[in-house]
Chain A
Amino acid sequence: MGYYLLNPVLNKGSLKPEIDEKELLNGLARNDRKAVETIYKDNYNMVQSLIINNNGSAEEAKDIFQEAMIVLYEKVRSGNFELSCQIKTYVYSVSRRLWLKRLQQINRFQIEVDGAGDVVAVEEELEAHERLNTEFSLMEKGLSSLGEPCKSLLEAYYLQKRSMNEIAAAFGYTNSDNAKTQKYKCLMRLKKFFFDQYKTGEP
Chain B
Amino acid sequence: MTQETRMLDSIERYIRGEMLPDERVYFEQLRKSNAEVDQLVVEQTLFFQQMNRFGEWKKFKSALEDVHTELAETGKINSNKLRGGAKVLYLWNRYKRVAAIAASIAGVTAIGLSMLVNSITPHKESPKVQELVHEVSVLKNAAKVLDTKIDNVDKKKADNTIIPKYNGTGFLIDTKGFLITNAHVVKNSTNIFVQNNKGDQFKAFVVKLDVPRDLAILKIDDEHFKGIASLPYGLRKAESDVAEPIFTLGYPRDEIVYSEGYLSAKTGYNGDTLSCQIGIAANPGNSGGPVFDRNGEVIGVLSTKEMQAEGVVFAIQSKYILQALDELKKDSLYHNIKVPLTSGLHGMDKVQQAKRVQDYVFMVKGD
Using a CB–CB cutoff of 8 Å, the interface residues on chain A facing chain B are 31, 33, 36-37, 40-41, 44-45, 48, 58, 61-62, 66, 69-70, 73, 77, 132, 135-136, 139, 158-161, 163-165, 176-177, 180-181, 184, 187
Q: Is the CB of A181 within 8 A of B5?
A: yes
Asked if residues A66 and B125 are in contact (CB atoms below 8 Å), the reply is no
What 1/0 flags go to B109-147 for Cβ under 8 Å of A?
000000000000000111000000000000000000000
**Assuming A37-B70, A44-B77, A48-B79, is B8 touching A165 (CB within 8 A)?**
no
How far, in whole Å, are A31 and B80 apart by their CA atoms in the complex?
25
Chain B: which residue is nearest A73 at the CB level?
A: B60
**Roughly how many angstroms separate A177 CA and B79 CA in the complex, as a whole number?**
50
Query: Chain A residues with Cβ under 8 A from B77's Cβ?
Result: 40-41, 44-45, 48
**With A58-B80, A165-B125 as given contacts, are A44 and B55 in contact (CB-CB < 8 Å)?**
no
Q: A36 contacts which chain B residues (CB < 8 A)?
A: 60, 63-64, 67
By the criterion CB–CB under 8 Å, are A180 and B125 in contact?
Answer: no
Measured between C-beta atoms, what is the minimum distance from B54 to chain A in Å?
5
CB distance from A50 to the nearest CB of B (A): 13
Contact A31 B61 (CB under 8 A): no
Which 8 pairs from chain A and chain B are nearest by CB? A159-B55, A158-B51, A44-B77, A184-B5, A66-B64, A163-B125, A40-B67, A139-B54
Query: Cβ of B63: which chain A residues have Cβ within 8 Å of it?
Result: 31, 33, 36
B51–A40 touching, CB < 8 Å: no
Choose among B1, B2, B58, B78 the residue that contacts A159 (Cβ–Cβ < 8 A). Answer: B58
Contacts of A135 in B (CB 8 A): 50, 54
Q: In this complex, what residue of B is CB-closest to A163? A: B125
CB contacts (< 8 Å) of A69 on chain B: these are 64
Mostly, the B contact residues are helix
List chain B residues, Cβ under 8 A from A45. 77-78
Q: In the complex, which residues of chain B have a beta carbon less than 8 angstroms from the beta carbon of A180? A: 1, 5, 9
B58 touches A40 (CB 8 A): no
**B56 proximal to A (CB < 8 A):** yes
* Residues of B bordering A, CB below 8 Å: 1-2, 4-5, 8-9, 16, 18, 48, 50-51, 53-61, 63-65, 67-68, 70-71, 76-80, 124-126
Whether A31 pairs with B125 at a CB distance below 8 angstroms is no
Chain A contact residues: helix, strand, loop or mixed = helix
Report Cα–Cα, A162/B1, bound state, in Å: 20
The answer to whether B67 touches A181 (Cβ under 8 A) is no
* Cα of A168 to Cα of B160 in the assembled complex, Å: 55
Is the CB–CB distance between B125 and A44 below 8 Å? no
Q: A70-B57, A163-B124 are in contact. Are A41 and B71 (CB under 8 A)?
A: yes
Q: Quick check: A66 and B51 within 8 Å, CB to CB? A: no
Closest to A143 in B: B54
Which residue of chain B lies nearest to A138 when distances are taken between CB atoms in the complex? B54
> From residue A63, how far is it (CB to closest CB) to chain B in Å?
11
Report the separation of the CA atoms of residues A136 and B80 in the bound assembly, to the nearest whole angstrom: 29
Min Cβ gap A167→B in Å is 11
26 contacts between A and B (CB under 8 A): A31-B59, A37-B70, A40-B67, A40-B77, A44-B79, A48-B78, A62-B68, A66-B61, A66-B64, A66-B68, A70-B64, A73-B60, A136-B54, A136-B57, A136-B58, A139-B54, A158-B48, A158-B55, A159-B54, A161-B16, A163-B18, A165-B124, A165-B125, A181-B1, A181-B2, A184-B9
B70 touches A184 (CB 8 A): no
Query: CA of A9 to CA of B68 in the docked complex: distance in angstroms?
Result: 21
On chain B, the residues within 8 Å of A160 by CB distance are 55
CB contacts (< 8 Å) of A37 on chain B: these are 67, 70-71
B67-A33 in contact (CB<8A): yes
Nearest to A37 among chain B residues (CB) is B67
